[in-house]
Chains A and B, each alone.
Chain A
Amino acid sequence: MYLAKVIGTNWGAKQAAGLEGLKLLQVRPVVLRASEAGATRLTEQDCALSDQVIVAADTLGAGPGEYVLVATGSRVRDVVYDSSRPIKAMVVAIVDSADIDVGVVR
């Protein structure tokens, strides 16, 4: 699972049958970089966003700008949805706050 920020959504009339009724969210995985010396808490500025954009299925109604937890893999899909869905990434939590030990990151 990884932290990611929701940047939008995409839709299309022609799509795989298994996507029926699924809300799709475009997310950018969070990349932690070492913050300046002396900083005790990581702020949003320290969370850079990867250039990669992943499309994840969403069951919780997360909106653009929110930070979410994304889980991937067929095992998770079979639990959250069912084994016939053509998806591999799912939003499994909307993050209220995250506390990361600055020391470990530096």
Chain B
Amino acid sequence: MFLGRVIGNVWATKKWPELSGLKFLVVRPHTLAELGRSEPPQQCDDAVIAADLLGACIGEDVVLAYGHAARAALEELAPGAAARHPVDAAIVAIVDRFDVDPEAGEEV
């Protein structure tokens, strides 16, 4: 799992049947350096498409689950269907606040 910011939406009509009803957001992962500073991430060199069941909006920070964890996320909210969801990234939390100091614990 890692932190990212929602920067866009994806709409797709022609898709795998199990994906109907799922909303997809474009999420840009936060690097450790960006987590330390408060200003928004500048250039976007990496984006992940994640399934969203919590209703996150553009500009919000989210926690992304990846791989098996993403399918586990769907299991809870769409019981029994998770095994068939071809999804490898899902939003599992919409962040109210995060407080990160990359230098935490350094001997000063």
* Contact present between A and B (CB < 8 A): no
